[in-house]
A and B are shown apart, each in its own frame.
Chain A
Amino acid sequence: MRRYLYLYGLFIKNGLIREMMFRWNFIIRIFTEVAWLAASLAFWQVLFHYTGRISGWNKYEVYLLVGTAHLIHQAFEGLFFSNLVQIPEMIRSGNMDFNLTKPLNSQFLVSTRYIDMGSLANVILGFFIAGYAVSHLHITLTPLKIMGYLLLSLNGMLIYYSIMFTLMTLAFWIVRVDGVIGVYFNVINFARQPADIYRGFLKIFFIFIFPMLVTINFPVLVIIRGLSFPLFIWSLAVGLFSLYISQLFWKYALNHYSSASS
């Protein structure tokens, strides 16, 4: 365990060195995300120009959702995304072999090596938007609420990680997976909207069958409405289960790789 922590420290250090080498890229990346954030805030601003509430959510509640989505996505992109999208290329070029011969958990190594500081800087921006929204909401924040919010945000990020990691593991069978990345980015759109616009079966579907509301909406609900204890536990179960599946699938893929690849 200590070895893994120490290694992670080195990854962070290397990430910093890289960002300092490519300063411009770092700055432009921050701006890209800011542009995206601005566009989505503008979108909601325009909509709330014509209506006071959408399915019971007021403007600042939605802003809290936007900020939370931003920080979860950016944390995921900063910590994992750039590693995961490299998996197909690593398999194709054969450099994956180096990861597999190291005396370490291979999933850890392929998931964490590169840390993108530009995205991590954006996490702060996400917190800032979330904080701004909360300050307009007349809500008393208790430490318990904040802890619940942070825990479920982390949980949401791990669900995204598990989905993406599982999708990228497909590269052991499929040559081109860029279509799959596109699928991911399209599908997560469901998660970015207020939970209450989904009604009836659709809501049940997005909570229990394809739990997209668990990732971003549930942490927000903890703050603005409160989340029932069973749903809280359900969220954590989804997170742990998806992580477990991703691990299982990785092992299965490695077995396939060692028996079939050349």
Chain B
Amino acid sequence: MRKYLKVLNIGIQTNLIYRYNFFILAIAQFCPLIATLILWNAIFQSTDQSHIQGYDHIKIVSYYVLSMVAQQIVGLWFMDYEITSDIRNGQINRFLLRPIEYIWYHWVIILSRKLILAITNSLPVIIGFYLLRDQILPPVGLQALLMVLLMSFMGLFLNFLITYCAGLIGFWLLEVSSLFFIYYILNFFLSGGMFPLDLLPKPFYAVVRWLPFQYMGYFQIKLYLGDYSVSEGWAGLAAAFIWILVFWGLSRFLWFRGTRRYSAFGG
């Protein structure tokens, strides 16, 4: 455990140095949100309905704001790049030799990043939600909020496992970096980052609900807004847990086959 704490410490330090970067990016990330909200404002003005598929203006605004928060919590950009480049330039040997598990190493790094993010961003987010309490809906209840937090953690871990598996493809394919972008786009779309998934035509929505991606944003937002009840939340938790098991198994399998192949090729 101690060694992972050390990794955590170093992770925090390097991230602090680049917090400048964090800061500019954090501000810039409001641009797509603002652009989207302006668009929805125009849509509501262009139709005579006050609701679109159960969403009124304030609910849509809340949805997108929450979606941005969810992406901050669940999003894992470039971890897959780090893994493939570790594989390609032989850095991975360090982990094959040392008594430290590669997967947990990455998980701890991710946690340190998220911790920094939580420390720097929680307060502004809470204050923002308070100041905008007339524009953004509050969580439907305390139980629901706790459920949202728990599910967010599950969503992060699930995304971590999928991204980790994607990175391990580097054992077989050298040029996979562009593949990750397809995954990002897919993830963004299917987790409801572009629009609420229930706006999709019925047959598509039915399919999307069976995929793991909705647990990386959409599901949590619907819990927060009260569209899903807490008991539906438990069902979602179970489903997310099954997905975690599936990708956990896949990651073990890929790691096992990958490292065997790697040592067979001599790195």
Q: List A residues at the B interface (Cβ < 8 Å).
A: 22, 24-25, 28-29, 31-32, 35-36, 39, 42-43, 46-47, 49-51, 53-56, 176, 178-180, 182-183, 186-187, 189-190, 192-194, 196-198, 202
Contacts and interface: CB of A to CB of B under 8 A. Distances in A.
23 contacts: A24-B173, A28-B179, A32-B179, A32-B181, A32-B185, A35-B181, A39-B188, A43-B195, A46-B199, A46-B201, A47-B43, A49-B199, A50-B47, A50-B49, A54-B42, A55-B42, A55-B46, A182-B25, A189-B32, A189-B35, A189-B36, A190-B35, A192-B35
Given A179-B24, A189-B35, A50 B199 contact: yes
B178 A202 contact: no
Chain A residues touching B, majority SS: helix
Contacts of A183: 24-25, 28
Interface residues of B, number: 40
A182 B25 CA distance: 6
Given A29-B178, A176-B21, 5 more contacts: A32-B178, A36-B185, A54-B46, A178-B21, A187-B31
A176 B178 contact: no
Interface string B37-64: 0110111011101001100000000000
Contacts of A192: 35
Contacts of B28: 182-183, 186-187
Nearest to A24: B175
Nearest to A181: B25
B32 to A, nearest CB: 4
Contacts, number: 101
B245 interface: no
A211 B9 CA distance: 44
Interface string B98-123: 00000000000000000000000000
A25 B21 contact: no
A198 B35 CA distance: 9
Contacts of A46: 195, 199-201
Query: Across chains A and B, which 5 residue pairs bring their CB atoms closest together, nearest first?
Result: A179-B21, A197-B42, A183-B28, A186-B28, A28-B178
B216 to A, nearest CB: 16
Contacts of A53: 46
A55 B47 contact: no
A245 B35 CA distance: 27
B21 A49 contact: no
A193 B39 contact: yes
A31 B182 contact: yes
